[in-house]
Chain A
Amino acid sequence: MNYQGLEDLELLAKIGEQDRQALAALYDRYGRRVFALAVRMLNDTVGSEEVTQDVFMSVWRRGASYTLKKGKFTTWLFSIAHNRTIDELRKRRRDRSRENADIDDHLNIQSGDISPADAAVAQSEYAKMRAAMEKLPVEQKSVVDLSYFKGLTQTEIALKTGQPLGTVKTRMRLALKKLRTSLSDEIGAQA
């Protein structure tokens, strides 16, 4: 069977039947994305390997329980990956043993890790995200970066920025809506 030709949900159904080849196919499809998100947030490849391992074992164990009520498959997958990485990030922040890199440092980490073709696509997508982010008011850009990529809670962001909690919540919502409008036509189609 050509697993690479199967849709995400078809692979997930096979995972529900304990089909390990389906898990391998899903890993081939999204492993680099999940790993990249973890690296982006943790700035650490060893920790990112552990996170990626946990995420795909969650898919293996909980794949059968996935329903469309949980959103698109990629939303569900990246939600698991993001939450797991945030847990690790907050644990490390408590440990104060590491610091996350600035968004610009991220591009430097990637050099040598991906093929030229991947790098071209990646740079293109990343450029689009950067462009969409740049369109946001600086306050909204800040809350997205602090929450999604640096793992701060909304209360921590309010304390850090000196803004009322309600304002932080609203900025998060507005930022996501604008990002979706800006990015969905360009990147969403490639997902």
Chain B
Amino acid sequence: MTETKDNLESNENLDPRFENLAGYVLGALDHADERSAVENLIERDPEVQAEFEELAEAADLLAIAVPPVTPPASLKTRIMEMAEQDFTTASIQQATHEPIRQQPWWQRALRSGLAVSAASAVLVVVVGSALSYQNNQLGNEMDTLRANLATESVLVANLQNELSTTLTDSEIRVATMKSDMKVMEDDFGATTEMVVHQEEMVSHLGSVNNALRQALSDQNWLTYVSTKEGYQVESWLASNTQQVTSTEPTASGLIAVRIVGNEAVFQVHGLPQPQSGYAYTLWLMGNGDPQPVAQFAVSEIGSATIAFLLPQPLQFYSSVVVTQERVDRIGVDPTGTMVLSAQTN
């Protein structure tokens, strides 16, 4: 069956305001900003609102027309348990007359007296459980990403090996040339011109080696993935000059976000090992509550790569920061030493 003449004429006469409505209803828009634009139009233009309702009803029918499937009974039980947990958390928040996120837990505990009251202990456990659940959800998604990245890492390791081999060959060549120069001087009595010329060659090779060495240290899977998988670097993190200690003056990091989708990668170099009992924590700031993305360890040379899913586009956050927080006890706000930070917009 082919499209009729009427359909084609409708195509030509499509009102630009309605252009993305069907895509919005079908969940087929490509970017978050397109969705926001449509939502704004729906909100302020009655004609668009009416058109939206008509199209949305059709999509509604598509869902309704799918034959129902009975889920396992355990699903309802799980949902009701989660609702119960939410309810308990909300009740305790209300009882304290103080939003949980206003202060770090330890400050609230200290304020309540020398001994932590039973109520505070319950609060910590409940809030911890809620955060733990959210972290678990995020953790599952990150595990999937990590598995994919592991595959890419193999390819990068091969690249690094190639670079290492090139560097080693080049360094051997420099050493050989120096040895040859010594032989020439001993055997033939080198002229000043010859020595200068050969020294220049050695110097030049030395520069090449330095460049190779730098490339080797910078080389990582991200370089590979960036070109292959459509990531682009969105933010460069630098040492926080006001608070950074002298032990990590060269630390730096970056966040790359996939051009389509919400996958993101954070990579850091040059961080010292965190103090005992602490781990580095990446936070997204400035869009409601601070959001801890992940705690991570660094390698012997202070590097780490973290894959995560952005809850919202990076531009929605004002900054990203890295702090040291206690292992497995991330508060609702960053409280530890800030080592890296960057503005995102």
Query: In whole angstroms, what is the CA distance A72 to B56 when docked?
Result: 9
Most chain-A CB neighbours within 10 Å: which of B1, B7, B83? B83
Most chain-A CB neighbours within 10 Å: which of B43, B68, B87? B68
Place the interface of chain B in its size category: 35 or more
Residues of A within 8 A of B155 (CB): none
Any chain B CB within 8 A of the CB of A100? no
Interface 1/0s, chain B 217-260, versus A by CB < 8 A?
00000000000000000000000000000000000000000000
Interface 1/0s, chain A 93-105, versus B by CB < 8 A?
0110000000000
Interface 1/0s, chain B 71-91, versus A by CB < 8 A?
110011011101110110010
Query: In whole angstroms, what is the CA distance A107 to B56 when docked?
Result: 25
CB pair A174–B69 under 8 Å, yes or no, is: no
Interface 1/0s, chain A 20-37, versus B by CB < 8 A?
100110011001110111
Residues of A within 8 A of B11 (CB): 166-167, 170
Main secondary structure of the interface of A (DSSP, over half): helix
**In the complex, what's the smallest C-beta–C-beta distance from B124 to chain A, in angstroms?**
22
Tell me the B259-282 residues at the A interface (CB within 8 Å): 261, 263
**Known A52-B71, A137-B3, A172-B23: A94·B263 in contact at CB below 8 Å:** yes
> Closest chain B residue to A82 by CB distance?
B27
Residues of B within 8 A of A37 (CB): 63, 66
**The stretch of B14-22, B112-120, B185-193 that contacts the partner chain:** B14-22
Residues of B within 8 A of A74 (CB): 60, 63-64
Query: In whole angstroms, what is the CA distance A147 to B79 when docked?
Result: 29
Residues of A within 8 A of B71 (CB): 31-32, 35, 45, 48-49, 52
Tell me the B31-71 residues at the A interface (CB within 8 Å): 43, 49, 52-71
Please tell me which one of the listed residues B14, B64, B80, B148 contacts residue A169 in the complex, with CB atoms under 8 A apart: B14
**In the complex, what's the smallest C-beta–C-beta distance from A174 to chain B, in angstroms?**
6
Residues of B within 8 A of A90 (CB): 261
CB pair A24–B76 under 8 Å, yes or no, is: yes
Any chain A CB within 8 A of the CB of B29? yes
Please tell me which one of the listed residues B26, B58, B83 contacts residue A177 in the complex, with CB atoms under 8 A apart: B58
Main secondary structure of the interface of B (DSSP, over half): helix
**Known A18-B87, A148-B27: A184·B68 in contact at CB below 8 Å:** no
Query: In whole angstroms, what is the CA distance A166 to B13 when docked?
Result: 12
Interface 1/0s, chain A 180-191, versus B by CB < 8 A?
100110011011
Residues of A within 8 A of B328 (CB): none
Query: In whole angstroms, what is the CA distance A20 to B87 when docked?
Result: 9
**Known A60-B83, A90-B261: A113·B61 in contact at CB below 8 Å:** no
Query: In whole angstroms, what is the CA distance A57 to B130 when docked?
Result: 13
**In the complex, what's the smallest C-beta–C-beta distance from A32 to chain B, in angstroms?**
4
Residues of B within 8 A of A11 (CB): none
> Closest chain B residue to A136 by CB distance?
B1
Residues of A within 8 A of B57 (CB): 71-72, 75, 180, 184, 188
CB pair B67–A23 under 8 Å, yes or no, is: no
> Closest chain B residue to A127 by CB distance?
B65
Query: In whole angstroms, what is the CA distance A176 to B10 when docked?
Result: 14
CB pair A110–B2 under 8 Å, yes or no, is: no
> Closest chain B residue to A74 by CB distance?
B60
CB pair B55–A39 under 8 Å, yes or no, is: no
Query: In whole angstroms, what is the CA distance A147 to B28 when docked?
Result: 6
CB pair A176–B25 under 8 Å, yes or no, is: yes
Most chain-A CB neighbours within 10 Å: which of B26, B30, B43, B148? B26
CB pair B64–A78 under 8 Å, yes or no, is: yes
**In the complex, what's the smallest C-beta–C-beta distance from A113 to chain B, in angstroms?**
5
CB pair A176–B65 under 8 Å, yes or no, is: no
9 contacts between A and B (CB under 8 A): A24-B76, A57-B86, A71-B60, A82-B63, A110-B69, A113-B70, A139-B2, A153-B30, A187-B64
**Those 5 A-B pairs whose CB atoms lie nearest each other, nearest first:** A122-B67, A129-B65, A172-B22, A180-B58, A32-B68
15 additional contacts (CB under 8 A) given A23-B79, A71-B57, A154-B29: A27-B79, A53-B78, A72-B60, A75-B60, A78-B59, A94-B261, A114-B67, A129-B61, A144-B62, A147-B27, A148-B28, A148-B59, A152-B28, A170-B11, A180-B57
Query: A-side interface residues toward B, CB under 8 Å?
Result: 18, 20, 23-24, 27-28, 31-33, 35-37, 39-40, 45, 48-49, 52-53, 56-57, 60-61, 69, 71-72, 74-75, 78-79, 81-83, 86, 90-91, 94-95, 106-107, 109-110, 113-115, 118-119, 122-123, 125-126, 128-129, 136-140, 144, 147-149, 151-157, 166-167, 169-177, 179-180, 183-184, 187-188, 190-191
